[in-house]
Amino acid sequence: MPGLHYASSTQNQRWHTTGISIFRCTVNRIPDTNSLLQKCRLPLGILIHPFKDLNNLPVIQCSTIVRCRACRTYINPFVYFVDAKRWKCNLCYRVNDLPEEFQYDPVSKSYGEPTRRPEIKSATIEFIAPGEYMLRPPQPAVYLFLFDVSQIARDSGYLQVVCDTLKEKLDELPGDARTQVGFICYDAHVHYYLMADGLARPKELTVIDIDDVFLPSPESLLVNLGECRDMILELLTALPRRHSAPGVPVSALGAALQAAYKLMAPTGGRITVFQTCLPNIGPGALQSREDPNSRSSKEVAHLNPASDFYKRLALDCSGAQVAVDLFLLSSQYCDLATLSGMSKFSAGTVYHIPLFRAARSWQAEQLTRMLTRYLTRKIGFEAVMRVRCTKGIAIHTFHGNFFVRSTDLLSLPNVSPDAGFGMQLTIEESMSDLQHVCFQAALLYTSSKGERRIRVHTLALPIATNLTDVLHSADQQCIIGLLSKMAVDRCASASMSEAREALMNVAVDALSAHRLARNLPAGAVSSALHAPASLRLLPLYLLALLKRKAFRTGTSTRLDERVADMCDMKTLPLGQLLRAVYPDLYAVHDLHLHMRHDTHDHNDQQDHDAEHDEEEDDAPDPPRLQLTAERINSNGAYLLDDGSTLMIYVCSNVSPAFLSEVFGVGAHAQLPDEARSLPRLDTPTSRMLHAFIDKLNDDRPYPSGVHILRDTSPSRQLFTERLVDDRVESAFSYYEFLQHVKNQVK
């Protein structure tokens, strides 16, 4: 590409490091005035992953948690100590007294410098909260499972997989001696399961009137896990058999949710829904809105809910400290645009496995892995999160799954380590007399063991007074994370075409601002497209985002799959989101060259890897490749990692030695068209490839499944459509996109 002074995406940057932090801002130097922010034309916002799994989190128990008396900011590493007894708040600048206890260092057990305290040493810290942080006694862990048992659900075979996983993980559910569980099944009716002390075995009660659903015996529907463990195991063994005979083709999800809310409202907790079809009877019944003929049209209809039934129910749940998570295991259109409201407003999550069939072992395994992580990960109950900013900056929009209770308070009935949030910021007054700006997020929650805790994250960033400094401090990955969330909300509030146009304009705006910063005269003709290093990959990421299922047009995309992708874009933490947007591609036919000795000089990678190599002293990864067919050689084999699947693409001229060592076959034609598991062979190449896959799986919530494709397979487009640098019928190639941006900038 002559004259294009632009990063090619071949740069072997370490796109995703496990060190992606909890708190990130779209610029690492904050413009000192609103007019400077307007000039830089970049979105200003923060991304936060507040309940991330952390290995060495400092936990403090003290009688007084030190906070600013004016704005209630928690003391943190960025405050100023006036003297040994007073500190100045870094958000509102009030001077506060330090309690006597703060002079005491719990580590050395001596009195001395307040700066030795963990609160001053760590930007992320957790407090065990004293009594005044509780409105009521901490709630127990309460889990209620709702199973769709309509005919489509029975055909899918999901119930056996779910019940087997639950039986296996029952003792690993987070909680204490008070933990309770319950189960409801539903088809045309709602089926309850009593497991009281006096019963020899679980007893089913069916409520036929779904328009006015009631609880037959509330005290025996949610039972203590420890006391009723054997009966719960018996029920989980019986349910799949009980619902294996032919059933009815209707699903009363709305009635089951109303019953679940009544059951859970007194305690709070978590409702987990397994749904396989369109709820088509009783309250909240829906009708199909998808027209299969318009799946690739420019304007996408029906991205908004058909009714507000599920949103209203979610808001009731949120008020009662109940979150609703949805596992959608659909074989047909289910109107996820409407159903997702139950999770969106109750701080829940949507998990989607389209066209699910338990008989496909790889789908059963995917559900098992997903559910195992879901059942056993940490959980925070009855949580609220407040984000505070330095005077002069304000939050104007939140993105994620929650209910905004007041201007800066998010209600999160449940909080999980797999949920991320975004916030857009505005500059309300000049900060030119400041050196730094600070943000603090405080998450108050109840642990599964019934402890009230507060996790506090603080981020401090310097101020910039000129355009060049702001542009050079841009964090292009964080910008993409925030934009993906903004674009999803734009699709709902406006239209798909407006959201797409807004994404395209970001690249044009940022590069126009850079042109302004370099004082290029308006008429100056330059064939090059200049960008600061901090924004070089922004157009590439934006193009990749436009080609996601969430935002693409001109390619046949099922409506539920589009909406499921939007749900992911809105809630995934940044590391997972980036890998989904721009997957990692590696050549694996010559793994031995990279895994054994690190003689390659990848200059681009070295800077990026310095921080990462401290954590990983083992063999280096092979270099990442640009997502283009130009990088795919007919004698190679490639691994594409998008965070949810590890796709191995085997080309027809790959060496027989590789085929024999990795797959145990002598020729390319002996490979199946596609396979869902990689054999473990006792050969150096097989061991190396498995070690590499294990390493990739290390930094994600649960292991990704493997999908092996031959380059002659009818399904090869599953691989080729992820080569986002290339042109497809309905969308630009990377080169064409750069040309388009360049013309707009001119």
Q: What is the secondary structure of 19-60 as a DSSP string?
A: T--SEEESBSSEESSHHHHHHHT---EEEE-TT---SS--EE
- Domain CATH number, residue 601: 3.40.20.10
Cβ–Cβ under 8 Å, residues 621 and 671: no
Can you tell me the distance from the alpha carbon of 563 to that of 337, in angstroms, rounded to the nearest whole number?
6
Can you tell me the distance from the alpha carbon of 707 to that of 693, in angstroms, rounded to the nearest whole number?
12
- In this prediction, residue 520 carries a pLDDT of 64
Could you tell me the two tokens for 425?
Answer: 């910021």
Same domain, 657 and 624: yes
Mean pLDDT for the stretch of residues 265-272: 96
Evaluated on CA atoms 299, 305, 307, 308, the torsion sign reads negative
- In this prediction, residue 341 carries a pLDDT of 97
Range of the domain at 682: 583-720
Can you tell me the distance from the alpha carbon of 629 to that of 724, in angstroms, rounded to the nearest whole number?
10
Same domain, 219 and 317: yes
Same domain, 228 and 368: yes
Cβ–Cβ under 8 Å, residues 662 and 620: no
What one-letter code names the amino acid at 473? S
> Distance of CA 3 to CAs 196, 316, 527, 536, 738, Å?
77, 59, 6, 15, 12
Residue 440 within any structural domain of the chain: no
What pLDDT band is residue 605 in, cutting at 50, 70 and 90?
very low
Structurally, how many domains does the chain consist of? 3
Cβ–Cβ under 8 Å, residues 573 and 419: yes
Same domain, 116 and 181: no
pLDDT tens-place string over residues 570-595: 999 999 999 999 999 999 998 888 76
Same domain, 194 and 247: yes
- In this prediction, residue 526 carries a pLDDT of 56
Evaluated on CA atoms 654, 660, 663, 667, the torsion sign reads positive
> Hey, is 295 helix, strand or coil?
coil
What is the b/e burial string over 481-498, where b = at least 16 CB atoms within 10 angstroms of the residue's CB? bbbbbbbbbbbeeebbee
Mean pLDDT for the stretch of residues 414-440: 96
> Hey, is 218 helix, strand or coil?
helix
- Which range is least confidently modeled, 128-142, 411-425, 661-675, 719-733? 128-142
Residue written as tokens 């939050």? 395
Sequence-distant (≥ 6) Cβ neighbours of residue 740 within 8 angstroms: 504, 732
> Hey, is 517 helix, strand or coil?
helix
Nearest to 606 by CA among 10, 1, 12, 4: 12
- In this prediction, residue 522 carries a pLDDT of 56
Sequence-distant (≥ 6) Cβ neighbours of residue 214 within 8 angstroms: 207, 259, 262
Residue 254 within any structural domain of the chain: yes
Can you tell me the distance from the alpha carbon of 349 to that of 324, in angstroms, rounded to the nearest whole number?
7
Q: Other C-beta atoms within 10 Å of 138: how many? A: 19
What pLDDT band is residue 518 in, cutting at 50, 70 and 90?
confident
Neighbouring C-alpha atoms within 13 Å toward the C-beta of 73: 27
Cβ–Cβ under 8 Å, residues 424 and 482: yes
Which H or E run contains 484?
A: helix 476-493
- In this prediction, residue 196 carries a pLDDT of 81
What pLDDT band is residue 536 in, cutting at 50, 70 and 90?
very high
Cβ–Cβ under 8 Å, residues 570 and 550: no
Nearest-Å Rg of the Cα atoms of the chain is 27
Residue 735 within any structural domain of the chain: no
Can you tell me the distance from the alpha carbon of 226 to that of 221, in angstroms, rounded to the nearest whole number?
15
Residue 75 within any structural domain of the chain: yes
- In this prediction, residue 524 carries a pLDDT of 56
- Domain CATH number, residue 101: 2.30.30.380
Angle in degrees, CA 405, 410, 414, rounded to 5: 115
Mean pLDDT for the stretch of residues 312-328: 97
Can you tell me the distance from the alpha carbon of 237 to that of 117, in angstroms, rounded to the nearest whole number?
52
- Which range is least confidently modeled, 457-461, 606-610, 676-680? 606-610
Could you tell me the two tokens for 597?
Answer: 């000795």
Strand segments, DSSP code E, in 602-699 are: 637-641, 645-650, 674-675
Can you tell me the distance from the alpha carbon of 539 to that of 483, in angstroms, rounded to the nearest whole number?
13
> Distance of CA 126 to CAs 50, 59, 62, 451, 469, Å?
11, 5, 11, 12, 34
Same domain, 172 and 106: no
> Hey, is 299 helix, strand or coil?
coil
Residue 460 within any structural domain of the chain: no
Residue 222 within any structural domain of the chain: yes
Residue 587 within any structural domain of the chain: yes
Mean pLDDT for the stretch of residues 402-423: 93
Cβ–Cβ under 8 Å, residues 191 and 205: yes
- In this prediction, residue 730 carries a pLDDT of 83
Residue 136 within any structural domain of the chain: no
Same domain, 99 and 205: no
> Hey, is 129 helix, strand or coil?
coil
Which H or E run contains 694?
A: helix 684-697
Residue 735 backbone phi and psi in degrees, to 5:
-60, -45
Can you tell me the distance from the alpha carbon of 182 to that of 189, in angstroms, rounded to the nearest whole number?
17
Same domain, 258 and 315: yes
- pLDDT score of 17 more than 90: no
pTM for this prediction? 0.92
Can you tell me the distance from the alpha carbon of 13 to that of 295, in angstroms, rounded to the nearest whole number?
35
- pLDDT score of 325 more than 50: yes
Can you tell me the distance from the alpha carbon of 211 to that of 258, in angstroms, rounded to the nearest whole number?
10
Cβ–Cβ under 8 Å, residues 266 and 215: no
Question: What secondary structure, in 3-state letters, does 347-385 show?
Answer: CCCEEECCCCCCCCHHHHHHHHHHHHHHHHCCCEEEEEE
Can you tell me the distance from the alpha carbon of 37 to that of 427, in angstroms, rounded to the nearest whole number?
8
What one-letter code names the amino acid at 70? A
- In this prediction, residue 594 carries a pLDDT of 74
pLDDT tens-place string over residues 460-488: 999 999 999 999 999 999 999 999 999 99
Same domain, 84 and 214: no
**Angle, in degrees to the nearest 10, between helices 574-581 and 538-546:** 80
DSSP state of 728: B
- Domain CATH number, residue 287: 3.40.50.410
- In this prediction, residue 20 carries a pLDDT of 54
Question: What secondary structure, in 3-state letters, does 53-72 show?
Answer: CCCCCCEEECCCCCECCCCC
Mean pLDDT for the stretch of residues 313-331: 97
What pLDDT band is residue 6 in, cutting at 50, 70 and 90?
very low
Q: Strands 180-186, 190-194: parallel, antiparallel or unpaired by DSSP?
A: antiparallel
Which H or E run contains 707?
A: strand 705-710
- In this prediction, residue 197 carries a pLDDT of 75
The strands making up 705-710's β-sheet, listed across from edge to edge, are: 584-587, 637-641, 645-650, 705-710, 674-675
Residue written as tokens 């691994």? 639
What's the mean pLDDT when you consider all of the chain? 90
Can you tell me the distance from the alpha carbon of 64 to that of 66, in angstroms, rounded to the nearest whole number?
6
Which H or E run contains 120?
A: helix 118-121
Mean pLDDT for the stretch of residues 18-30: 82
Angle in degrees, CA 305, 498, 728, rounded to 5: 100
Q: Strands 86-88, 645-650: parallel, antiparallel or unpaired by DSSP?
A: unpaired
Could you tell me the two tokens for 534?
Answer: 């901090």
What pLDDT band is residue 528 in, cutting at 50, 70 and 90?
low
Burial degree of 392 (CB within 10 A; 0-12, 13-18, 19+)? buried
- In this prediction, residue 407 carries a pLDDT of 78
Same domain, 151 and 269: yes
Same domain, 154 and 300: yes
Can you tell me the distance from the alpha carbon of 250 to that of 255, in angstroms, rounded to the nearest whole number?
12
Same domain, 255 and 367: yes
